Chain A
């Protein structure tokens, strides 16, 4: 399965980006062959609104089945839900560590957004 992880950098050792919509990068990690691809999310940072749902769209296009990020707002959350993409919230880790935590079943799936909506 492919997991999309919000990242502050372009490598697995980069810190997790706590933001979803305005994350710097998304790392699409394939758990079947342990390979990954990087998507630059920076164009989305300048969006005046709707960054979260644009990111959700990008994650869906990348064929991810799950997302690991720090925080997720209600619009992005409902978009991911509509796309059948599970959301896992994780704090203070590197991308690599958060993927390990996911594989070991230590991350709990979020059943709702953890932040109120905003622009």
Chain B
């Protein structure tokens, strides 16, 4: 089963829910893997005291022109067809700008004399470890690298397929979040009951509906704001899987990187209900 946890707004509790749900399932004897897809600013590993056992550099393809074979000005197909303006003809050769390249492969496909080789450039790394009994997969985007999606795709490809995969999505609803939602069976949307939280929550609902995925909601820090999020969830007839109550104690535990299931055992019941509700929803073929 593949679950993804998104939120729209950053800092509303995606990682909190991902980590604690993973821990709950692991303790119930369920095979579970947590994939931290926030490759720009990963945090899940803190809460699980993860010891990284393997780290692998990740590269993206970048064109390299063999000037000896290149037909030059009489051809220029790669230069003219590249949609990302990554190649130009300068003086007497084709010049490549790797930072603009989207690694689509068009230039090497078009070249009539196979003068385009694929070199690589580093985009970051994928790593794997175990923490508190949970298998954790994650990535780290190289600072200065613009695009997160290709690395997120690598993290998900590398994470094992058996058991329950929980993908902790990055904030937002643009390409990195979309990449995390690929091939997912169910989406848990975590919301914070504040005006900012609700505004971004609605956008996330629209995204998940646009992608045609099954959706359930969780209200985190329940009690810190107002009741508008709850009203919206009811109005939209979205399944409410759990309410995680706000408390200073919970905030302090999270600040230390302590999972709530450890710091405040009363949360176990909440996660049990969350999981039961989620399974009910999935069986009902919820959307």
Residues of A within 8 A of B84 (CB): 49-50
With both beta carbons as reference points, the residue of chain B lying nearest to A81 in the complex is identified as: B90
Residues of B within 8 A of A50 (CB): 84-86, 97, 100
Interface 1/0 per residue, B92-104 and A, CB below 8 Å: 0001010110000
* Cross-chain contact B100 with A83 (CB below 8 angstroms): no
Q: Complex formed: what's the CA distance from A36 to B85 in Å? A: 28
Q: Complex formed: what's the CA distance from A56 to B91 in Å? A: 10
Q: Complex formed: what's the CA distance from A110 to B72 in Å? A: 29
Residues of B within 8 A of A117 (CB): 99
Residues of A within 8 A of B91 (CB): 60, 82-84
Interface 1/0 per residue, A70-97 and B, CB below 8 Å: 0000010001001110000000000000
Interface 1/0 per residue, A27-44 and B, CB below 8 Å: 000000000000000000
Q: Complex formed: what's the CA distance from A52 to B28 in Å? A: 57
Asked whether any CB of chain A lies closer than 8 Å to the CB of B178, the reply is no
Greatest chain A CB density within 10 A among B84, B88, B100 is at: B88
Residues of B within 8 A of A83 (CB): 90-91
Q: Complex formed: what's the CA distance from A49 to B86 in Å? A: 9
Asked whether any CB of chain A lies closer than 8 Å to the CB of B196, the reply is no
Q: Complex formed: what's the CA distance from A50 to B97 in Å? A: 9
With both beta carbons as reference points, the residue of chain B lying nearest to A60 in the complex is identified as: B90
Residues of B within 8 A of A47 (CB): 85
Asked whether any CB of chain A lies closer than 8 Å to the CB of B232, the reply is no
Residues of B within 8 A of A75 (CB): 97, 99-100
Residues 3-50 of A at the B interface (beta carbon under 8 Å): 47, 49-50
Asked whether any CB of chain B lies closer than 8 Å to the CB of A57, the reply is yes
Residues 136-182 of B at the A interface (beta carbon under 8 Å): none
Task: How many A-B residue pairs have C-beta atoms within 8 angstroms? Tell me.
Answer: 41
Q: Complex formed: what's the CA distance from A47 to B85 in Å? A: 8
Q: Complex formed: what's the CA distance from A59 to B91 in Å? A: 10
Task: Report the minimal beta-carbon distance from A10 to chain B, rounded to whole angstroms.
Answer: 25
* Cross-chain contact A82 with B85 (CB below 8 angstroms): no
Task: Report the minimal beta-carbon distance from A4 to chain B, rounded to whole angstroms.
Answer: 14
Residues of A within 8 A of B79 (CB): 57
Task: Report the minimal beta-carbon distance from A2 to chain B, rounded to whole angstroms.
Answer: 14
Task: Report the minimal beta-carbon distance from B99 to chain A, rounded to whole angstroms.
Answer: 7
Q: Complex formed: what's the CA distance from A82 to B97 in Å? A: 12
Task: Report the minimal beta-carbon distance from B122 to chain A, rounded to whole angstroms.
Answer: 18
Greatest chain B CB density within 10 A among A47, A56, A57, A117 is at: A57
* Cross-chain contact B85 with A56 (CB below 8 angstroms): no
Asked whether any CB of chain A lies closer than 8 Å to the CB of B89, the reply is yes
Task: Report the minimal beta-carbon distance from A57 to chain B, rounded to whole angstroms.
Answer: 4
Q: Complex formed: what's the CA distance from A57 to B76 in Å? A: 12
Residues 48-67 of A at the B interface (beta carbon under 8 Å): 49-51, 53-54, 56-57, 60-61
Residues of B within 8 A of A56 (CB): 88, 90
Besides A50-B85, A82-B95, A117-B99, 11 new A-B residue pairs in contact (Cβ under 8 A), listed by A number: A47-B85, A53-B88, A53-B95, A53-B97, A57-B79, A57-B90, A60-B89, A61-B89, A79-B90, A82-B90, A83-B90
Going nearest first, the 9 A-B pairs with the smallest beta carbon separation are A50-B85, A57-B88, A83-B91, A83-B90, A53-B88, A50-B100, A82-B90, A60-B90, A49-B100
A-B contact pairs, 24 of them (CB 8 A): A49-B85, A50-B84, A50-B85, A50-B100, A51-B85, A53-B85, A53-B95, A54-B85, A56-B88, A56-B90, A57-B88, A57-B89, A60-B90, A60-B91, A61-B89, A75-B97, A75-B99, A79-B90, A79-B97, A82-B90, A82-B95, A83-B90, A83-B91, A117-B99
Which positions in B face A, CB cutoff 8 Å?
A: 79, 84-86, 88-91, 95, 97, 99-100
